Amino acid sequence: MADVHTPEQRQRNMSRIRGRDTKPEMTVRRGLHARGLRYRLQDRNLPGRPDLVFPKYRVVIFVHGCFWHGHNCPMFHLPATRPDFWQTKISGNQSRDAKALRELLASGWRVLTVWECCLKGPGRMPLDSVIDDCFAFIVGTQQTADISGQSST
């Protein structure tokens, strides 16, 4: 299927996509801040540059977009335009995510991934429930967890 936009229009659209301070990330940040937790943002010294870093608890949180990280949920579908490009792009993101997770765990960090689908879309959870799950992970002892619109583990 041909792209409906010219290359210039597509480039303009893609350049507007944020890598940080996204709506899901800001929602999680505000909720945890309201619960009295303080954190650092986008620490470049840690593998994968986590969205939120809680040094006191040795916890990092990634807030992942379901499309960009290829989450297995109703919010993700591979575009019909240039599927080979998108498959390569998304699988590269997944490989980097897995590598960052391994490196963080090996260096003693605990890792929580909050998926976009738990905050919006058909499987969204109540915001208080998502923040409660994040808070419980931060003060708990579990090594890794995911919170998604399908279930939290």
- Averaged over successive runs of 10 residues, the pLDDT of the chain (153 residues) comes to 69 65 89 95 91 96 92 88 90 96 97 95 91 97 91 47
For tokens 């350049």, the residue is: 15
The answer to whether position 16 is within a domain reads: no
9 within a domain of the structure (yes/no): no
pTM (predicted TM-score): 0.85
Contact 106, 5 (CB under 8 A): no
Tell me the residue range of the domain where 26 lies: 21-147
What integer pLDDT is reported at residue 112 of this predicted model? 98
Which pLDDT belongs to residue 117?
Answer: 93
Residue 55, domain member (yes or no): yes
CA distances from 30 to 10, 53, 54, 57, 118 (A): 32, 14, 14, 18, 16
Residue 42 lies in a domain: yes
pLDDT of residue 50: 95
Count structural domains, the chain: 1
CATH number (domain holding residue 107): 3.40.960.10
First to last CA, the chain: 38
**Residue 127 maps to a domain:** yes
84, exposed or middle or buried, with CB in 10 Å at 0-12, 13-18, 19+?
Answer: exposed
